[in-house]
Every structure is written in structure tokens, then in C-alpha cells.
Amino acid sequence: MEHSDPGSLGRGDDLPSTRCGYVAIIGRPNVGKSTLLNHLVGEKIAAASRKAQTTRHRIRGLITHGPDQLVLVDTPGVDPSTPKLLGKVLNRTAQAAVDDVDAVVLVVEAGRWEPADEALAQRLENSNRPVVLVINKVDRLKDKSALLPYIDQVRGRLPFHEVVPLSALKGQNVEPLVDTLMQLLPPGPHLFPDDEITDRSQRFRVTEVIREQLLERLGQEVPYATSVEVEQWEDSGTALHIGAVIWVEREGQKAIVVGKGGRMIKGVGSGARLELEQMLERKVMLKLWVKLRDGWQDDLDGIRRMGIDVES
Ligand code: GDP
Ligand code: MG
């Protein structure tokens, strides 16, 4: 409104012309939350900013479409398998986290409604937040005519704001979900200027690439609580020098991640470096350390400091 007469009472003088809000993606493990998030955020922007992070949220991505900015956050405590104190802390914050966002996306798998889905739906019942039900993996339905009866069946479980069947993997029908979510955002200024998040988003994606390499190479042996933290990030002009710490809980886990003669960690490092060079489109020098933080799961400060990622 920069050209308008300050005295005029034109439409929208009081309301900002932009919208911005928080949306949580929740669902039991394996329904496709990460896949959906990656698809939503795409290559453009993903942020994991410690500074901007509230105690309840971990920011996983941003979608900015012109005047609308959507901040996607993790809602911890929705995984019943979360162990020990970590699980308790996160479960306690789960309800509050849901109350804190402007909308919730509940993800389920097409054709299925498990007790864990029901439990999550019940948790959302009193949240007073619009809940959008995403029926993911529709590409897996052999009999497409089963989708409509399924939608009818699950629609009644909660007064969903909208039900969106899609395939996060194939990218089918994802845009309508974005449109639906944008409509739910409250008016307000954007919380994140684009240039501020670029670098952080890259750091976040770096930790994800390293975690992926760990998972690929170690499978079930990867300790649940392993987390990756970028400690060094220096641009020498010719290359990006990245140093990251892989935090483990126990000496034995450290030995597994390092491997015989350091073979495992070297493999993780070179695999991750190749991925990173493709992703960042430049030369990357990657250094990895494995550090032991004994009993950190029982250390509340530690949990907070590390910006826990409850997805795994
Ligand atoms: P999360 O635990 O909820 O984060 O689930 P992930 O995103 O890790 O996905 C779990 C598995 O489901 C992975 O093997 C994905 O490739 C797969 N998956 C996710 N979305 C889809 C989809 O739309 N269609 C199919 N066929 N598979 C999917
Ligand atoms: Mg996941």
C-alpha cells in the first residue's frame, strides 16, 4: 500500500496483504510424512533454524508462494515407539505443539486406518485447529474404486477441514494440498525473509543427507537417537568445507558408526559428499566426527540443545 494516501480507508488498510502461519504434519511412522515434506518443500527452501525454533517446534520447511508463507513444523511425541525420557518429554509437548499451530495435516495410508491413526485423530479432536486429512500412497491402491468408499469411511472420524488423497512419492495431487493449507493461514507478515534461510536450509539438508547415508549403510544398527549436527561451514570460494558431528549415546554405537579401521565412517563420508556435491552443485569437503554424549537422552538440556528430530 505504499502509494496509497495515508488518510484513505481503502480495502485492506488494516490487514497485511500477506499471510503466514505454522502447519504441523503428523502421522504414525511410515505413512510418508518425510516424503510429503520433501515433496512440498522441494529443492527450494528447507529450514532448520535453531534460532527461529521455538521449544516446541522444529521447523522442517518453508513454502513461500507470493504473499503466502507456510512454515512446516514437526510435532514431536506422535511416535509411540519413542524411548525413555526423550519420549516422555516429547509426548508432553505434543498437545501443546498442536495447539500452537494454525493447521494440522494428519497423514494416513490409503486403505488403512490403524489404531495409531485413530489415537492421533482422537488427540486432534480437542485441538480447535483445522485438520486436513491426507490420504497418502493412493498410487498403491490396486483397486482404484476402493478409494471413494475409503474416503467416506474415514471422513467421519473427525470433522476434517478437508480430505486430500495424494501420492507424495509420485507427486500426485500435492498442489491442491498446498492451496488448501495456504487458505488456512492467518494474515500477517512473513516470518522468514528468503535470503536469511537459504544457508540454514542447506545445513539442515546436509544433516539429512548424512543421516540417510548412515541408515543406508547401517540399517537397523543405526541407534535410534543418533543425531547429526553441522559444526563447521566455511566457503573457501573453491569449495564448501563442512564439518559435522554424529552424536551417539554409547561407546558400542560409536564403534559401529566408525567401523573397523574407520571404514564405515569413511564410507558414510564419501557417500554423503557425493550426494552433497550434486545437491549443492559445487565442490564439497566433508569432515565427520563421531562423538559420544553419554546418557544424553536423559538430559533435558541436551535434548533441547540438539533440536531433536523425532522422525527417524
Ligand atoms: P514417515 O515415517 O511418515 O516419514 O514415512 P516416509 O516418508 O519415510 O515413507 C515411508 C515409506 O513409504 C518410504 O519407503 C516411502 O518411499 C514410502 N512412501 C511415501 N509416500 C509414498 C507414496 O505416495 N506412495 C508409495 N507407493 N510409497 C510412498
Ligand atoms: Mg519420516
State the pTM of this model. Answer: 0.61
Residues 287, 234: contact at Cβ < 8 Å? no
Query: Which pLDDT belongs to residue 226?
Result: 77
- 35 C-beta closer than 6 A to ligand 1: yes
| 2 Cα–ligand 2 center, Å | 43
C-alpha to C-alpha distance for 47 and 41, rounded to whole angstroms: 10
Closest ligand 1 atom number to CA of residue 35: 7
| 9 Cα–ligand 1 center, Å | 50
- 202 C-beta closer than 6 A to ligand 1: no
Query: Which pLDDT belongs to residue 148?
Result: 95
Query: Which pLDDT belongs to residue 39?
Result: 81
C-alpha to C-alpha distance for 206 and 201, rounded to whole angstroms: 9
**Cα-Cα-Cα-Cα dihedral of 160, 166, 172, 178, to 10°?**
30
Locate all alpha helices (DSSP H) within 24-140, ordered by sequence. Answer: 33-41, 84-100, 115-125
Q: Which helix (H) or strand (E) holds 277?
A: helix 263-280
In what order do the strands lie in the sheet containing 103-109? 58-65, 68-74, 19-26, 103-109, 131-136, 162-165
Ligand 1, pocket-test mutation among 25, 31, 35, most atoms within 8 A of CB: 35
- 81 C-beta closer than 6 A to ligand 1: no
Give the residues of the chain that fall short of pLDDT 50: 1-12, 43-56, 77, 79-87, 90, 195-199, 301, 303-304, 306-312
| 30 Cα–ligand 1 center, Å | 6
- pLDDT tens-digit profile of 138-179? 999 999 899 999 999 999 999 999 999 999 999 999 999 999
Closest ligand 1 atom number to CA of residue 29: 2
Q: Which of 68, 11, 10, 13 is nearest to 187 (CA)?
A: 68
| 207 Cα–ligand 1 center, Å | 20
